[in-house]
Amino acid sequence: RHGLQTQCVGREIHFEEVLDSTNNVAKRLAAAGAADGTIVVAEQQTGGKGRLERRFFSPAGKGIWFSVILRPPFMPQEAPKCTLLAAVAVAKAMERFGLPAGIKWPNDLLYENRKLVGILTEMSAEMDRINHIVIGIGINVNILPQEFPAEIRKTATSLQAVNGGKPVPRVKFFQAVLEALDALYAEVATQGFALVLAAWRKYTITLRQEVRVIGVRDGEEYTGIAADIDEDGALLVDAADGRHRVLAGDVSIRPK
C-alpha cells in the first residue's frame, strides 16, 4: 500500500495490469457489495470511457486510471457535488506538487485550455438514497505531446508537459490524490459540502467566463455568462433570456 495515509478511500485496492474500464469493474464490485472507499486501479485501460459516450485514452504506465466506490449517506441529488469534490481533490494534489491547473465546470482539469484530467461519475440510486457512486478519474501523468492520438493532440496535455517536460512521480502523485479525496470525503460527512464548493470556486476557470451550453437532454443551445454554482453544484448561467440552472452531467460547456 505504499504507506497510504487514508481512513476510507483506498482501504481496499483492486489493481490489475489491464482492464477494459475501471468504472465498469468498480460498478460490478459495487453491485456485489464492495465497501465504501474501495478503489479499482489499472495500469492500462482498453476501453476507457469518457463522458458523453466518448473514449478515454489510457495507455500503459503513463497515467493514473482509477475509480473509487463511495457509499455516502446522502440523497441522489447530492451526487453531482461528489464529482466536484473529486475535481477539487485532484486540483489540491496538483497544487501540492506545484503544478498549475484550473477546473472547468463540472470537473475537467485543464491547463491552457487543454485537458489534463477527466472525471466520469456513475451512480446507482433508489428514490431517496444513493446505493453507490463510482467516480472514475483519469489523469494524464507522463504522456508526451506526440504520444497522444492525433484526434486529441491539440486538446489534451499531461502533468509532465505542465511540469516543463520533467516526469512527475506517478505513485506519489496518486497517493496525494487519494489522501485529498479521503480528507474531503471525511469533511463532507461532518460539515457538508460548503467547503468543497468554496474550494471549487477557488480552483475553477469557468466562472465569470462566457460559456456555450448544449443541453444533453433537450439539445437546447445558448450562450451566457457563468455566474456561480448553487448549493447543489449546478452552474448558473446568465443568458439573454434570463438565468439558466445547469445540472452537473447535463451539458457540455466550452469557452467561446
- Binding-site ranges for ligand BTN (CB under 6 A): 21-23, 45, 48-51, 54, 56, 58, 65-67, 108, 118-120, 136-138
Q: Which is nearer to ligand BTN, 48 or 224 (CB)?
A: 48
> Taking the complex as a whole, how short is the minimal distance between the CB of residue 26 and ligand BTN, in angstroms?
8
How many Å is the Cα radius of gyration of the chain?
A: 17
Q: Which is nearer to ligand BTN, 53 or 128 (CB)?
A: 53
Residue 16 is placed in which grid cell?
490489475
> Taking the complex as a whole, how short is the minimal distance between the CB of residue 250 and ligand BTN, in angstroms?
14
Residue closest to ligand BTN, measured at CB: 118
Q: Which is nearer to ligand BTN, 51 or 225 (CB)?
A: 51
Tell whether 209 is in a known binding site: no
Residues β-bridged to residue 120: 136
Q: How many CB atoms lie within 10 A of CB 71?
A: 18
Residue 159 is placed in which grid cell?
502533468
Residues β-bridged to residue 210: 225
Residue 241 is placed in which grid cell?
433570456
Q: Which is nearer to ligand BTN, 6 or 22 (CB)?
A: 22
Tell whether 131 is in a known binding site: no
> Taking the complex as a whole, how short is the minimal distance between the CB of residue 9 and ligand BTN, in angstroms?
15
Q: Which is nearer to ligand BTN, 108 or 179 (CB)?
A: 108
DSSP string, 210-241: EEEEEETTT--EEEEEEEEE-TTSPEEEEETT
Q: Which is nearer to ligand BTN, 45 or 142 (CB)?
A: 45
Q: How many CB atoms lie within 10 A of CB 103?
A: 25
> Taking the complex as a whole, how short is the minimal distance between the CB of residue 212 and ligand BTN, in angstroms?
17
Q: In 3-state terms, what secondary structure has residue 245? A: strand
Tell whether 45 is in a known binding site: yes
Tell whether 22 is in a known binding site: yes
Tell whether 154 is in a known binding site: no
> Taking the complex as a whole, how short is the minimal distance between the CB of residue 192 and ligand BTN, in angstroms?
26
> Taking the complex as a whole, how short is the minimal distance between the CB of residue 127 and ligand BTN, in angstroms?
27
DSSP string, 126-186: -SSSEEEEEEEEEEE-S--GGGS-GGGTTTB--HHHHTTT----HHHHHHHHHHHHHHHHH
Prior bond of 73 cis (ω within 30°): no
Known binding positions for biotin: 21-23, 45, 115
Known binding positions: 21-23, 45, 115
